[in-house]
Amino acid sequence: MDFSSTVASQLNAGVILPEGLVIITLMVVLVGDIILGRNASRQLSYVAIAGLLGSVVALYFQWDNSQTIGFLGGFNGDNLSIVFRGTIVLSTAFTILMSIRYIQQSGTALAEFVSILLTATLGAMFLCGANDLVMIFLSLETLSISSYLLTGYTKRDPRSNEAALKYLLIGAASSAIFLYGVSLLYGLSGGEIRLDAIAAQLTDLSSGQSLGVAIALVFAIAGIAFKISAVPFHQWTPDVYEGSPTPVVAFLSVGSKAAGFALAIRLLVTVFGQVTPEWQFIFTALAVLSMILGNVVALAQTSMKRMLAYSSIAQAGFVMIGLVAGSDDGYASMVFYLFIYLFMNLGAFTCVILFSLRTGTDQIAEYSGLYQKDPLLTLALSICLLSLGGIPPLAGFFGKIYLFWVGWQAGLYGLVLLGLVTSVVSIYYYIRVVKMMVVKEPHEMSDTVKNYPPIRWNLPGMRPLQVGLVLSLVATTLAGILSNPLFNLANSSISNSSVFQTASTPVILSESIINRQSLSE
């Protein structure tokens, strides 16, 4: 770093402009809620969406910024972080769209919900760019604590309370473990907190450091795996997903997960570059377990939200293939998949919310015969689920092909084959829902669907849901066919990122592949 420059340029505060916009929006929502009262809460959520979109615009203008390091190395706003922050902001905007009606119907305050959600978004965004240990931990905790609050937001629902408590206990434990791992890093590097400085200190692993680094690695991975709900750190997922308000689940499954993956890439590649074979081995195991357990257990679910919970575990398993591949293409495929996953998963959750708003249930069996009463919902949910299952020419197909192709190139034949086989399994449980909705004859219609209320989009808070539904439907259908720009975006976000300039040289990669092969033999 250039120490002769002024303090202002060292701070380089402009790099967190998108976060700044989110903070301002948060303030506006908070203060506006106090001044205007409950009647204005719907308008305030539109303000929040506008602020988030403004933040996306700010992110767009920061693309390819030459000065990416801000706050004396505390924050790194490179292209990689921009892509992840963009994904998170978009997922929050979507979540607000779908939560307006849901939260109002549950009888709780909407503006508070939006402000907590914005805080969680802020934490997740900072996490994507965090470049030192303190920053990582602070933003991680901001995200986590807001998530606990959101999980328990519907206070009168005992299941929501149960979910919040479970999430809090397990989350706090995993934070503690993560913090312990981070503190080991601090000690081993001789008191460094910046990731690249730590990496520079950890070059020589022969002198007793290696055991410490290994323990730090395992502890850090435990924290990350909790965030991305990889098996065996997934136990909270089904219960939390089932109990919490559905928009929160949507955010947790996309926004929070994206932040977890961003943290994984940055921490593992920068700090643990020396022990790449080890962490790749651990993530191979996590990916294998996640794909198998997520897909197999999802088969047996009767509740839509639980099924989507296990499916999100399985999807995280697929994404980990890109992480294990460890090449630039691998990270790009993760970015691409997460971006596509944003639309299809949030689309699916929008449909689930819409259905439960109209009928009050989320049992899969209750969906039977829905096509007769609500064709749009049936179409959107079918498209999103089929896309999650990787059926061409929907977006998910392209995402999966890219992940598998990259995995194959990195020599992860077993992992890719497992991914292929488990995606067949996943088609089975996704199509089961589609079958319920589309195939069932009128006389097999469930009672819920028989009493389906007439479709009225003009109720307060329904328009945003409709917008979200149509947007995700269009995006899921077309993002695959028109995916070349997205591919370019994902790839350039990786190739222009400073993280990979030093750490992941091809030599390490090829060594890691050899090592892994010798391990598996």
Rule CB under 8 A: is residue 491 a binding residue for another protein? yes
Cβ at position 317, least distance to another protein in Å: 16
Mutual angle of helices 236-243 and 158-188, in 10-degree steps:
140
Q: Which of 329, 362, 366, 374 binds another protein (CB under 8 A)?
A: 329
Please give the Cα distance from 140 to 466 (Å, whole number): 32
Residue 70 backbone phi and psi in degrees, to 5? -125, 165
Q: Which residues fall within 8 angstroms of residue 413, CB to CB, at 6 or more apart?
A: none
Please give the Cα distance from 119 to 378 (Å, whole number): 33
Cβ at position 416, least distance to another protein in Å: 7
Q: Which is nearer to another protein, 98 or 436 (CB)?
A: 436
Cβ at position 324, least distance to another protein in Å: 16
Cβ at position 132, least distance to another protein in Å: 33
Opening angle at CA 61, ends 70 and 135, nearest 5: 25
Q: Which is nearer to another protein, 461 or 480 (CB)?
A: 480
Note whether 213 and 274 are within 8 A (CB): yes
Cβ at position 423, least distance to another protein in Å: 7
Cβ at position 451, least distance to another protein in Å: 21
Q: Which of 251, 310, 404, 500 binds another protein (CB under 8 A)?
A: 404
Cβ at position 457, least distance to another protein in Å: 18
Cβ at position 438, least distance to another protein in Å: 7
What does 72-139 look like in DSSP terms, one character per residue?
Answer: GGTEE--HHHHHHHHHHHHHHHHHHHHHHHHHHHHTS-HHHHHHHHHHHHHHHHHHHHB-BHHHHHHH
Residues 413-442, mask of contacts with another protein (x by CB under 8 A) = ---xx--xx-xx--xx--x---x--xx---
- Return the range that interacts with another protein (CB under 8 A); candidates 42-50, 90-98, 315-323, 388-396: 388-396
Rule CB under 8 A: is residue 483 a binding residue for another protein? yes
Rule CB under 8 A: is residue 478 a binding residue for another protein? no
Rule CB under 8 A: is residue 17 a binding residue for another protein? no
- Return the range that interacts with another protein (CB under 8 A); candidates 58-66, 90-98, 395-403, 468-476: 395-403
Residue 76 backbone phi and psi in degrees, to 5? -125, 110
- Return the range that interacts with another protein (CB under 8 A); candidates 88-96, 138-146, 356-364, 398-406: 398-406
Cβ at position 65, least distance to another protein in Å: 24
Tokens of 192: 């460094």
Q: Which is nearer to another protein, 242 or 366 (CB)?
A: 366
Q: How many residues bind another protein (CB under 8 A)?
A: 31
Residues 80-119, mask of contacts with another protein (x by CB under 8 A) = ----------------------------------------
Cis bond before residue 393 (omega within 30° of 0): yes
Rule CB under 8 A: is residue 409 a binding residue for another protein? yes
Note whether 337 and 388 are within 8 A (CB): no
Q: Which is nearer to another protein, 142 or 378 (CB)?
A: 378
List, as own/partner pairs, every contact residues 136-145 make where C-beta atoms lie below 8 angstroms and the sequence separation is at least 24, other chains included: 136/182, 136/263, 136/267, 137/178, 137/179, 137/182, 140/175, 140/178, 140/223, 140/227, 140/263, 141/175, 143/256, 143/259, 144/171, 144/175
Name residue, tokens 């998949």: 337
Cβ at position 386, least distance to another protein in Å: 7
Note whether 314 and 422 are within 8 A (CB): yes
Rule CB under 8 A: is residue 134 a binding residue for another protein? no
CB-based burial, 231-255: b 16+ in 10 Å, e otherwise: bebbebbbbbbbbbbbbbbbbbbbb
Q: Which is nearer to another protein, 104 or 378 (CB)?
A: 378
Name residue, tokens 């921009």: 82
Cβ at position 382, least distance to another protein in Å: 9
From residue 39, how far is each of 28, 32, 42, 421, 459 by CA, in Å? 15, 11, 7, 52, 15
Please give the Cα distance from 301 to 313 (Å, whole number): 14
From residue 167, how far is each of 163, 313, 362 by CA, in Å? 6, 16, 21
Please give the Cα distance from 275 to 454 (Å, whole number): 59
Amino acid residing at 518: S
Q: Which residues fall within 8 angstroms of residue 215, CB to CB, at 6 or more apart?
A: 181, 184
Rule CB under 8 A: is residue 500 a binding residue for another protein? no
Rule CB under 8 A: is residue 474 a binding residue for another protein? no
Q: How far is CA 70 from the centre of its chain?
A: 24
Q: Which is nearer to another protein, 67 or 488 (CB)?
A: 488
Cβ at position 238, least distance to another protein in Å: 25
Please give the Cα distance from 186 to 180 (Å, whole number): 10
Rule CB under 8 A: is residue 402 a binding residue for another protein? yes
Cβ at position 401, least distance to another protein in Å: 7
Q: Which is nearer to another protein, 36 or 424 (CB)?
A: 424
> Which residues contact another protein (rule: CB under 8 A)?
329, 332, 386, 391-393, 397-398, 401-402, 404-405, 408-409, 416-417, 420-421, 423-424, 427-428, 431, 435, 438-439, 483-484, 487-488, 491
